């Protein structure tokens, strides 16, 4: 245990010991253990985008055992995936690598009128598989957001009783939001606040752009510094209960190494708690992926 990790956990006073213990497990694991920073490998893209789009760039990724072994070799804090991938590997990795079971997912085969993921796992599955947390996606702005909020409320309560923290993917989408508005600084900050209000112990959002999308919010951003990504990250973290909740930022679509690292440096400068890096890691050849993840970890280590 380290002073920094205990400072973070003090923000969760009142949570059951199991929840705090599992947060501590993730914060103390891997190459960033004890620093208060996290780098997590998520692999839900096979469900979300399809196998070829996700794994053809690096065919080793079709094998569910590839991803947790990559997380271990690189020194990640945890590995997140849907039920099928976790079930396939839990007997080998539960207890040695913190696992996050993603409890809802969606596909790209249909064209639903509003974004809403299906429940694809349960808290009892996370317990059975030795997971350290559950994960859940909400789409603030969607016409079906209230359904997702209700599901999340119930899952947070059930997981809390079982001693599991909840990681919330908070991705504004649908309704009247344009594609550009989904990552606007005011919208991303709002999404982080919503996730915290719904009981998230850890929030995952996308890096915000400088756009302010809500007319009603625009005047309030005149005095909030948002010119750089570091400033925008700082505001999003502030919006998550004044930094009292862990906020990590997604890596997004595959991009070049220099672009990935520049983004991570800005997140670190802005006080972000870390990154959750999927396609930018597992779509690269293994040696290149390990090297990139270790460079990211190095940035967060300072």
Active site positions, annotated: 204
Q: Distance (Å, rounded) from C-alpha 18 to C-alpha 24?
A: 10
Helix crossing, 229-239 with 257-269: angle to 10°? 50
Q: Distance (Å, rounded) from C-alpha 252 to C-alpha 122?
A: 26
Q: Is 272 helix (H, G, I), strand (E, B) or coil?
A: coil
> 192: closest CA among 204, 182, 184, 180?
204
Q: Distance (Å, rounded) from C-alpha 115 to C-alpha 104?
A: 12
Alpha carbon distances (Å) from 61 to 53, 91, 282: 11, 19, 7
CA-CA-CA-CA dihedral for 20, 26, 31, 34, to nearest 10: -10
> 7: closest CA among 37, 43, 39, 40?
37
Please, which residues bridge with residue 81 across strands? 101
Q: Distance (Å, rounded) from C-alpha 166 to C-alpha 137?
A: 11
- How do beta strands 246-250 and 78-81 pair? unpaired
Q: How many residues does the chain have?
A: 302
| Eight-class DSSP state of 208 | P
Alpha carbon distances (Å) from 57 to 54, 66, 149, 252: 7, 14, 35, 16
């Amino acid at each position: 245990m380290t002073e920094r990790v205990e400072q973070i956990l003090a923000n969760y006073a009142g949570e059951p010991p199991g929840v705090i213990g599992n947060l501590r497990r993730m914060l103390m694991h891997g190459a960033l253990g004890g620093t208060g920073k996290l780098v997590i490998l998520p692999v839900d893209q096979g469900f979300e985008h399809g196998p070829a789009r996700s794994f053809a760039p690096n065919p080793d990724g079709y094998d569910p055992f590839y991803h947790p072994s990559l997380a271990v070799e690189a020194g990640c804090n945890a590995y997140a995936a849907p039920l099928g991938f976790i079930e396939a590997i839990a007997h080998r990795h539960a207890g040695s690598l913190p696992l996050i079971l993603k409890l809802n997912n969606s596909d790209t085969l249909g064209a639903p009128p509003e974004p809403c993921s299906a429940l694809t796992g349960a808290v009892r599955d996370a317990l059975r598989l030795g997971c350290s947390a559950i994960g859940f996606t909400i789409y603030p702005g969607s016409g079906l957001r209230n359904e997702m909020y209700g599901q999340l409320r119930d899952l947070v309560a059930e997981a809390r009783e079982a001693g599991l923290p909840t990681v919330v993917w908070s991705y504004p989408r649908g309704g009247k939001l344009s594609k550009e508005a989904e990552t606007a600084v005011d919208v991303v900050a709002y999404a982080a606040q919503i996730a915290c209000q719904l009981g998230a112990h850890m929030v995952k959002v996308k890096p915000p752009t400088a756009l302010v999308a809500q007319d009603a919010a625009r005047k309030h951003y005149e005095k909030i510094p948002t010119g750089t990504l570091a400033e925008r990250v700082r505001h999003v973290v502030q919006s998550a209960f004044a930094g009292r909740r862990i906020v990590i930022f997604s890596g997004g679509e595959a991009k070049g190494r220099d672009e990935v690292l520049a983004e991570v440096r800005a997140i670190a400068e802005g006080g972000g708690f870390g990154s959750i890096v999927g396609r930018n890691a597992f779509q690269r050849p293994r040696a290149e992926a390990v090297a990139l993840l270790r460079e990211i970890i190095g940035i967060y280590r300072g």
